Each structure stands twice: as C-alpha cells, then as structure tokens.
Amino acid sequence: MLYDYLIVGSGFFGSVFAYEVGKLGKSCLVIEKRDHVGGNVFTENLNGINVHKYGAHIFHTNDKEVWDYLNQFAEFNRYTNSPVAIYKDELYNLPFNMNTFYKMWGCKTPEEAKKIIEKQRNNENVQNPKNLEEQAINLVGRDIYAKLVKGYTEKQWGKKCSELPSFIIKRLPVRFTYDNNYFNDKYQGIPIGGYTQIIEKLLKNVKVKLNTNFFTDREKWENIANKIVYTGMIDKYYGYCYGKLEYRSLKFESEIKNIENFQGNAVINYTENKIPYTRIIEHKHFENTKTNKTIITKEYPIKYKENEEPYYPINDDKNSKIYKKYEKLAKNEENIIFGGRLAKYKYYDMWETIKEALKTAKNEIN
Ligand code: FAD
C-alpha cells in the first residue's frame, strides 16, 4: 500500500478531510474525474470575474467553528443574498417579506399583510395538505403561491405542484419586516477571489490526479491505499445493485455581455412557467467586481440522465428506501468511508459538508 488514504473526489468533503489527516502526517492521494479541483464550488476567473461554474454558491452558517475554519483560507466579504423575483413584468423582493407584500397588495403594516394571508388561507380551507400546491397555499396564501412559488417550483422539479409531495416545502420563510436578507444565519459572505483558492490551499501538500475516474481502473485504486474516502455516487459504487437513485440536474448557459451591469443583482429568479430557466446569475455582483463587461449564467433545471451531473437528490419515499439499503452496505465496510453529498445522497450546504468532513477526520485520528 502506497498511501494511508485514497480520496475519491476533490470537493469540500475530500479536500477538508485530506488537509486534516495530512496535518498529522497521514499520506493521501486524491483522484478527481473532472479537469479541476473543487467539485461544485469551483470558481473560474474569466475576464477578471470569478464565475461560479456550477451555480451560485453563497456561504452562510450559524456555526462559528466552521466559519473560523474557512476564514483561515480566504478573506470573506460581507455579501448578503437578497434575490429578486420577476413574474411577467412585475418585480418582487425575496424572501417573502414586507417589501414583497407591499408590492403584491399595497399593504404597509405587518398587521395588514397577516390579515390578507390569513384570509387567503381561510378561503382555500385546506386541512391536511396532500400535495405541494395545497401545502404552499396553506403556508402563504393563493397570490404568493401563484406568482412566486408555482412556476419556479414546477420548473425546478419538472412536475406540476399538484403532483409533487408536500414534504418538499416544509416551511416557506415569511418575514413581517422590511428585510430582504435571504438567510437567517449569523455568518454570510463570498470568499474574495473565489472558492477555488480555498480548495488549492487545502490540497497544497497533497498529491492530486485530475481527469481520473475511480471506475476506469477500480482494481488499481482499491489497492493503492489502506483506506478509501469515497465522495462519489453511492449507488454507482455498489454497481446499482438495489437500483438507481434519482436526481434532478441543471444546465448552465453563460454569456459575456458587453455592458458593465446587466441586471443590478447577483441573483434574479424567473418565477413564470413560460420562461424555461429558473434564474439568471450575474457573477460580478458577488464580489462587487469592477469591469467594463459582465458575465451572466442562465440556470435550466433538466432531467437527470447518466453522463449529466447529478445535482439535487430526490429524497422521496422510493429513493429513501433504496438509499437505506446502500447505507446498510456502507456501514458494514471497514476500510471505506462514504462522505459528502453524493455518497450520503443528501443535499448539504457547504458548511454542513465541511462540518461532516472535520468530524470524519477527527474520528480517524482518535
Ligand atoms: P462535490 O462538490 O460534488 O465533490 C465531489 C467530487 O467528486 C466532484 O468533484 C466529482 O467530480 C468527484 N467524483 C465523483 N465521482 C468520482 C469518481 N468516480 N472518480 C473521481 N472523482 C469523482 N451550498 C451552500 O452552502 N450555499 C450555496 O449557495 C449553495 N449553492 C448550491 C448550488 C447548486 C446548484 C448546488 C448543486 C449546490 C449548492 N450548494 C450550496 C451545495 C454545495 O455545492 C455542496 O455542499 C458541496 O459542494 C458538497 O461538496 P462535496 O465534496 O460533498 O461534493
């Protein structure tokens, strides 16, 4: 055995793990099937703008340990996520707050807004929501559902809200203050200079092989280290023996615009069903970058097929049952650690991925 650990995947999970065990003298080899490190947090500098190649990534957490940890590797700015939604020719602030309600109904006080939402909920009289449509109406009333939830959600999941399970929307944040800050977390920001520098620092003393897929030479990789840290798809690892887990994928379409400022905000959601993309990202606003040109990316949700990137797990009953079977196999492995969003078949925010990697590395060391 040449290494203590073979790490499959150079996203946040694999990179944080490698850094932590490396500090204690353990040797790691990272293999990565893409032609760059970083997984989905990869940012690429194009025309002086840090482009979030796999969708907008805004760091936010309440966890001081993770926040302090990450700040060792980059300085963060004070970016606050305040997305805007466009429905037909109307423009609304998100998350749903007094600015949204004022625009929607002209009401100025929380009392007035609460009364309207309550009235709309009572009109529908939904007792036990059976699907996402009923659930959303029950939470925010008909108007907000129709203009700001329905089209966006149907594009996102490729199904009608009346056919989607209610559990997808457990809560819809409603705020009765004039506050457009999307997240409630204590710490929020974008690393100045992008995310890739953080990953590069984490992997500075680690051997990394890019363009290397674990499955093209599985036997070789299984015999190169004492333990494997696997951050790829768990169903693929087990040869889909219990069936394939389902995902939702995304297509990104980027263009350079010959103007300084295209939309005046980093994130604009398009909530109308007729427009095929869910949002447009204008990357320069994440870091307030001063350039003559700008880069925008349209984000289209698409059906997941093999060879597409698996972005969002579909954690419904059917897939959860399949995952549980794979999880059972994984728990019985002695020399393989499964970590990160694909191996755990779970949507993790960045801070959760980092937290899990820190915990896993600590367990290894103790
Ligand atoms: P990944 O980043 O996916 O890394 C896994 C790596 O393993 C990849 O590089 C992959 O190429 C590699 N790999 C897989 N299989 C193999 C194989 N067989 N051989 C070799 N290499 C392999 N989080 C936030 O906190 N804020 C946000 O705003 C936010 N926005 C997001 C937007 C989108 C569109 C998506 C999809 C996610 C977003 N996230 C956000 C979540 C964030 O991306 C994840 O928390 C984080 O990237 C997970 O890291 P990971 O290491 O688990 O997985």
Q: Which of 36, 40, 214 to mutate to test the pocket of ligand 1 (most atoms within 8 A of CB)?
A: 40
pLDDT at 126: 84
Residues with Cβ within 8 Å of residue 25, at least 6 apart in sequence: none
Cα 2 to averaged position of ligand 1 atoms, centre (Å): 27
Short-list 181, 208, 228, 193, CA closest to 343: 228
Distance 359 CA to ligand 1 centre (A): 18
Q: Confidence band (pLDDT; 50, 70, 90) for 307?
A: confident
Single out the catalytic residue among 133, 279, 287, 345.
279
Q: Where do the domains of the chain lie, and which CATH numbers do they carry?
A: 3-77+187-243+314-365 (3.40.50.720), 84-168 (no CATH)
Mean pLDDT across 222-249: 97
Express each pLDDT in 149-183 by its tens digit.
999 999 999 999 999 988 888 778 899 999 999 99
Answer yes or no: is pLDDT of 315 > 90.
no
Give tens-digit pLDDT for 46-99: 999 999 999 999 999 999 999 999 999 999 999 999 999 999 999 999 999 999
pLDDT at 172: 83
Ligand 1 touching residue 348 (CB < 6 A): yes
**What is the ipTM for the molecules in this complex?**
0.99
Query: Quick check: is 142 catalytic?
Result: no
Share of the chain above pLDDT 90, in %: 93
The reported pLDDT for the residue numbered 270 is 98
Confidence of residue 13 (pLDDT cuts 50, 70, 90): very high
Using a 6 Å cutoff on CB, does residue 313 contact ligand 1?
no
pLDDT digits (tens, 9 = 90+) for 272-289: 999 999 999 999 999 999
Mean pLDDT on 121-130: 89
Distance 340 CA to ligand 1 centre (A): 8
**pLDDT averaged over the chain?**
96
CA distances from 219 to 14, 216, 242, 310 (A): 20, 9, 22, 25
Evaluate whether 59 touches 136 at the Cβ level (below 8 Å): no
Nearest to 11 by CA among 235, 152, 176, 202: 202
- What's the pLDDT score for residue 167? 84
Burial of 94 (0-12, 13-18, 19+ CB in 10 A): buried
* pLDDT over threshold 80, residue 366: no
Long-range contacts of 238-242 (CB under 8 A, 24+ apart): 238/326, 238/329, 242/322, 242/325, 242/326
